[in-house]
A and B are shown apart, each in its own frame.
Chain A
Amino acid sequence: MGEEHLEAQAIVVGAGPAGLMAAHRLALEGLEVIVVERGQYAGAKNLSGLLYSTVLAQAIPDFSSKAPLERPVCKRGLGLLGPKDFSVLSFGSEKWTCPPHNHTWVVYRAQFDRWLASQVEEAGGTLLEGAVVEDLFYEQEGSFKKVAGVRIRGEEEAFRAPVVILAEGAVGLVSERARDSLGMRPGEKPQSYGLGIKEVWALAASTIEERFGLEPGCGAAMEWIGSPFKGLVGGGFLYTGKESLALGMIVKLESLVRAGLSPQDLMEGFKANPEVRRYLKGGELLEYGAHLIPEGGPQAMGQLCHNGLLIVGDAAGLVNASMYHEGSNLAMLSGRLAAEAVIQAHLLGDFSRKSLSLYERMLHESFLMEDLSRLKNIERAHLVFPRLMAELPSRFTGLLVDLFEQAQVPKKDIRKEAFRRAMDGMPKLRTLLDLWKMRRMMG
């Protein structure tokens, strides 16, 4: 590397949506920014569900004609699964079939993130792929201690910059070390996680459109809760790609550990459900993957900036773990806001915590924190969900099936018997209370 220090005006650690959006904004502003990614390419380690694109659309208005998007979601389904019965509420809108498609897309992140990285390069940013940031590089001590760059594995010299944006994702080793070394205030509660498992299945476009009842090019997103998840806090999803399906589940890790169940068995049980199985018929598995999702909400976030440092995206715990499961859009928002704070800091020549805390203030004023602050009760979900998740879906689908049973008895008796079976052994008050609590957890 010679005598000269490697130096940039900002370093971003991690080329996911949060880091790339930050870098994109900084590069457009004319700042010298470098994104360090440990994967062979941006997105190599990433996995996701749907992409909500409201923040992306602001930064790159014509993204939908350039980005590798699979299908827009024109139809959604929320379903309940019993061991043998099912029920689905399917809904959509003519509006969703036209641009901007309600800003809801099925994407494959290994492809999407790579494209977003190319946009950063086009804007003038630099990408350093296949390099592991081992730790941050610090200067000074005590309350003046500040981040002044990063240490890359295998390099003796630190890579310097007056400000570093940590966008490492859910497994944030450098963020953890940084919080310790800088004595950053931890969250009121430790972070808690959802475990996401995903399988990508190849299937012909025409078969997908036929099976889901879709116009050519349109997509669907199905989500289920119920008996395959054995009363754990979690559910399954199925999204349509162009010529593939993304099938998976998200289960609260703590509840999985407590129950002593393996994600593999749970996933296979979900896939074996007759309502789910039929979508995959004739398909071929292309890829399998797993990823953690930080779901602790604002109480687990703690301090997100310090002298010369900002933490964004999953590394900051910015996920809306309600029924919307919004992560990458919030990541992009936090990346953009962090970039705004860095731009201000460069103008003022002040990279202190006080200066960079503009980021935290902007976060708190955004829709993101409004959404997240409503999730405070989600931590207690496991107290309510086992009953609701295990019992209600099967009872409700059972009730529907029983109500339409055909026999040579008066319909009045069939209805009476159906309700008797559905309510058998269910204390009414507790059920209503559970439903009310769950409503509050939806955010």
Chain B
Amino acid sequence: MALEEKLYRVRYEVDPDHPHIRVKQELCSSCGRRVCTFICPAGVYVESPGDPGQIQVRHENCLECGTCRVACGCEGIIWDYPNGGMGVRYRFG
């Protein structure tokens, strides 16, 4: 089952104007491993189709697990809590 199909079953309160994740593109462009692109359970981090040197952040898919913060060896991810009531909203959990 594809990840997209799984994420489709997750409820989110989307807050498009307030991304809670930023990456330091200057670090990402020289990062060889790019752990974020395979470790995130929601596939939030992808290499930018237009510019593979950049990391594109699909923050609206974030499950707020915090894996990327721990796994990025370069401290290239600035992760904050989404605004109150926003972000992932589990029904089962």
Contacts and interface: CB of A to CB of B under 8 A. Distances in A.
A286 B91 CA distance: 9
B85 A130 contact: yes
Contacts of B82: 38, 132
A43 B67 contact: no
Interface string A384-425: 000000000000000000000000000000000000000000
Contacts of A113: 93
A43 B38 contact: no
Contacts of A329: none
A131 B65 contact: no
Interface in B39-93: 39, 41-43, 63-67, 69-71, 79-85, 87-93
B1 A289 contact: no
A48 B93 contact: yes
A289 B84 contact: no
B41 A263 contact: yes
Interface string A208-230: 00000000000000000000000
Interface stretch (A2-10, A80-88, A191-199, A431-439): A191-199
Nearest to A174: B81
B77 to A, nearest CB: 12
A46 B80 contact: no
Contacts of B80: 173
A171 interface: yes
Contacts of A171: 64-66, 69
A367 interface: no
Given A48-B93, A288-B9, A256 B66 contact: no
A44 B89 contact: yes
Nearest to B89: A44
B84 to A, nearest CB: 4
B67 A38 contact: no
A244 B92 contact: yes
Given A253-B67, A285-B9, A290-B41, A38 B84 contact: yes
B9 A43 contact: no
A321 B93 CA distance: 20
A200 interface: yes
B7 A110 contact: no
A268 interface: yes
Interface in A23-47: 38-40, 43-47
A45 B84 contact: no
B89 A39 contact: yes
Nearest to B91: A110
Given A253-B70, A264-B3, A45 B64 contact: yes
B31 interface: no
A305 to B, nearest CB: 23
Contacts of A45: 64, 87-88, 90, 93
> Which of B80, B83, B93 has the most chain A CB atoms closer than 10 A to its own CB?
B93
B93 A289 contact: yes
A291 B85 contact: no
Interface string A110-139: 110100000000000000011110000000
A131 B84 contact: yes
A306 interface: no
A108 B93 contact: yes
A368 interface: no
A244 B92 CA distance: 10
Contact of B38 (A170, A246, A261): A261
A287 B38 contact: no
> Which of B9, B10, B43, B92 has the most chain A CB atoms closer than 10 A to its own CB?
B92
Contacts of B1: 268, 271, 285
B66 A170 contact: yes
Contacts of B70: 193, 253, 292
Given A40-B13, A257-B35, A261-B38, A200 B92 contact: yes
Interface in A252-297: 253, 256-257, 260-264, 268, 271, 285-292
Contact of A286 (B39, B42, B92): B92
A173 B69 CA distance: 11
B89 A290 contact: no
Contact of B9 (A129, A170, A286): A286
Given A39-B85, A132-B82, 7 more contacts: A40-B13, A130-B84, A199-B6, A253-B39, A264-B43, A287-B9, A292-B70
The 3 closest A-B pairs by CB, nearest first: A110-B93, A130-B85, A171-B66
Interface of A: 38-40, 43-48, 108-111, 113, 129-132, 153-154, 170-171, 173, 193, 195, 197, 199-200, 241, 244, 246, 253, 256-257, 260-264, 268, 271, 285-292
21 contacts: A38-B81, A46-B90, A47-B90, A109-B90, A110-B93, A111-B91, A113-B93, A130-B84, A132-B83, A171-B69, A195-B41, A195-B67, A246-B92, A256-B39, A264-B3, A264-B43, A268-B1, A287-B9, A287-B91, A288-B7, A291-B65
